[in-house]
Structure 1
Amino acid sequence: MVVLIVEPLDPEVMQWLVARHAVRYAPDLARDPRGLRHALRNVQALIIPPTVALDADALARAPLLKAVGRLSAGAENIDFEACARAGVEVVRPSDATAQSEAEFMIGALLQMLRRVPVVNAEGLLVGRELGSSTVGLIGMGPAAQPLSQLLQAFGTRVVGYDPALHANDPLWARWLVEPAGLRELMEQSDGVCVMLNYYTRYQGLLGERYLAFCKANQVLVSLASTSLFDETTLAEVLGSGRMAAAWFDSLEPGLLAPGRLLHQIDTLQVTPRVASTTRESRVRAAWDVARRIDTLLTPSDVATPH
């Protein structure tokens, strides 16, 4: 066996892989950790769902493993450092989910701006329009470009921050985003979209130093790791009403448990990582992952048709 597929895969993509490699499709192993570990001994590539953990112990049982694929956004179930030590490449779709994530964030912004009212000059509770708003993008990943394009169509002013990009980087102009400092962005934005890739150095980045200075009645949607946020500050800005609402597409387990600061804050909405998962994005992601795995497993002197 060369390729073990535990994640449901588009039939056309599956047929394409079967024509090139020895493939075992075993979705039942997602619910059988012991069985999965036993199956890893002769596997060179693995495609797993978010519910399956790949840690150092599992890797030790897979001496031939060259690649592990993940179709959906995020990879919290994969130990990247252990994979690097074992020489295993983590294969994820490059920009297959960008459009679906951008559309999700537009929908979230529209809902929160309209359904969470603010008091206008007449003293009435009213919604707001996206076209009259300033939206800040934190993290200029693949989804930021289609998101900016969609926001421009509404007439929205778009500002952005990314610690890895200099203010003079040509990407800002290409994507029609005004570069800004993080505090400046938080102070100016009616809506904020967080897409920043998480590294340990960014833990708690959005906390007292920046999040506490959010514009009054700001709404926030995040597709990023909740480790970017300081729990205390997030609870304070939501609980006080300074931030009107927040929408997280996944939340660290236990953050909403009784006794935690975010428990029973009714302006916080959480969805189970659905932003990146659409019919179209699943097909694009499957092709991205399958083709990269095929490249890794195919000798360099053999041409692979696409």
Structure 2
Amino acid sequence: MKPKVYITRKIPNEIVSKIEAVCEVRMWQEEEKPVPREVLEKEIADVDGLFCLLTESIDQALLDRAHALKVISNMAVGYNNIDVEAAKKRGIRVTNTPGVLTETTADLTFALLMSTARRLVESTEYLRSGKWETWSPLQLAGQDIYGATLGIIGMGRIGEALARRAKGFNMNILYYNRSRKPVVEKELGLQYTEMDELLQEADFVCIMTPYTPETNNLIGERELSLMKNTSILINTARGGIVNEDALYHALKNGVIWAAGLDVFEKEPVPLDHPLLTLPNVVTLPHIGSASIKTRMKMAELAAENLLAAIRNETPKHLVV
């Protein structure tokens, strides 16, 4: 009798076929809409493996309904959607998909930095609305990127990849991390600073740290007040790291110049969210890893992790 697996979103057929070669597969058939909670509660009852996305809250109440579950394979680098400790207590393995999305997410982060600094979205809307009637000296003038100071909070794989891109723009790069990385400092010419100093000195502040209880609201009113009034905040990590109310007031009152956001505390972000009303905010729907090649690699790795745990082997990327 084959082990049973539930997949919480429609994924490419070639990935499903690999899992079906070993397991009996049931799958939510929507590509754009998450599986409803009540459906997931029913489906998880008898499965050996769960293939899920960040959109699913795998909490203690849900795990209480899982009577045969061996593995939760998260198709993401982060896993703050999963109660890891509750899974560990039940002997359930949790896996993720790091590494494969590093370069793609760094691409998106630097693209967001550039589009925010040079007001590309605002300029597109300006043109399409018929406002472009002439040229003027400071019309839609933005901030320079080449030679500016970049501050990176969180120097993991993606932070390092972002720093490599910034070197091509001759940027002075500061970083703050829980621990120093002397090898990376030497390789990329980075300068380690405490976070307050980074906030005070950087023209661009990029959030690259994982979301944890310690990083919840890491950037709030006090931290934003330390930044220059010409500086730009970029967040492609997790929404809860930045206090959104404090960010809104800082942007509206000119405490900082602009922000580029790929993530929000609540996703999808409500259309009446105050940050969406500001012209100096570039907003994206959490597309950091959204290239075709990378998303396929993530799905493949999530499937490999799942199948390894089903076979009682050690998955390539094991969280617990």
Same fold per superposition (TM over 0.5): yes
Q: CA RMSD, aligned part only?
A: 2.8
SS in 1 for 2:214: helix
Query: Hey, what does 1:252 align to over in structure 2?
Result: 265
Aligned to 2:256: 243
Instruction: Say whether 1:185 aligns with 2:198.
Output: yes
Residues 276-287 of structure 1: pairs in structure 2 closer than 5 A? 276-287=289-300
What is the distance in 2 between the residues matched to 1:232 and 1:39?
Answer: 38
| Partners of 2:78 and 2:287 in 1: CA distance | 11
- The range that moved more, 264-273 or 151-160, is 264-273
Q: Secondary structure at the match of 2:72?
A: strand
- Between the aligned partners of 2:8 and 2:217, the Cα distance in structure 1 is 34
Out of 8, 11, 18, the residue aligned to residue 9 of structure 1 is 11
- Any conservation in 2 of the 1:55–1:79 contact (CA below 8 Å)? yes
Q: Which of 86, 95, 99 is the matching residue for 1:91?
A: 95
Cα shift at 1:73: 5.0
**1:227 lines up with 2:240 in the alignment:** yes
Q: Does 1:165 align with 2:179?
A: yes
Structure with larger RCO (C-alpha < 8 A, sep 6+): 2
Cα deviation, residue 139, structure 1: 0.8
Letter in 1 for 2:209: L
Shift of 1:109: 1.1
Aligned residue number for residue 304 of structure 1: none
2:54 — aligned with what?
A: 50
- Structural mapping, 1:1-306, within 5 Å: 1-27=3-29, 30-115=34-119, 124=138, 126-162=141-177, 164-166=178-180, 169-253=182-266, 262=275, 264-300=277-313
Q: Secondary structure at the match of 2:94?
A: strand
Q: Report if the CA contact (8 A) 1:256-1:264 is conserved.
A: no
Whole-Å separation in 1 of the counterparts to 2:276 and 2:27: 40
Deviation of the 1:54 alpha carbon: 1.9
CA shift at 1:232, angstroms? 4.8
Using the TM superposition, give the Cα deviation of residue 104 of structure 1 relative to its aligned residue in structure 2, in angstroms: 0.8
Task: Tell me the CA shift for residue 107 of structure 1.
Answer: 0.9
> Residue type of the partner of 2:195?
L
Deviations 1:207-266 (A, max 9, x none): 2443211123111110233332234542332122231111221212398786x8757333
* Alpha-carbon spacing, 1:51–1:265, altered in 2? closer, same or farther (3 Å): same
> What amino acid sits opposite 2:15 in the alignment?
V
TM superposition shift of 1:83: 2.2
Gaps of 5+ in 2: 123-136, 315-320
**For this pair of structures, how many residues does the alignment match?**
293
Q: State TM-score, norm by structure 2.
A: 0.80
Deviations 1:31-63 (A, max 9, x none): 443333222222111112333332222211112
Partner of 2:125: none
- CA change 1:212–1:261 in 2 (3 A) is farther
Contact 1:97 1:285 in 2 (8 A): yes
Q: Which amino acid aligns with 2:250?
A: V
Q: Distance between the aligned counterparts of 2:290 and 2:87, measured in 1?
A: 25
In the aligned structure 2, how far is the partner of 1:63 from the partner of 1:169?
A: 47
Residues 70, 92 of structure 1: 8 Å contact kept: yes
**Structure 1 residue matching 2:50: 3-state secondary structure:** strand
* Residue 156 (structure 1) shift: 1.8
> How far apart, in 2, do the equivalents of 1:57 and 1:98 lie?
32
Q: State, as a whole percentage, how many aligned pairs show the same letter.
A: 23
**Greater alpha carbon shift after TM alignment, 245-254 vs 71-80:** 71-80
Q: Residues of 1 paired with 2:38 and 2:114: CA distance?
A: 45
TM-score relative to the length of structure 1: 0.84
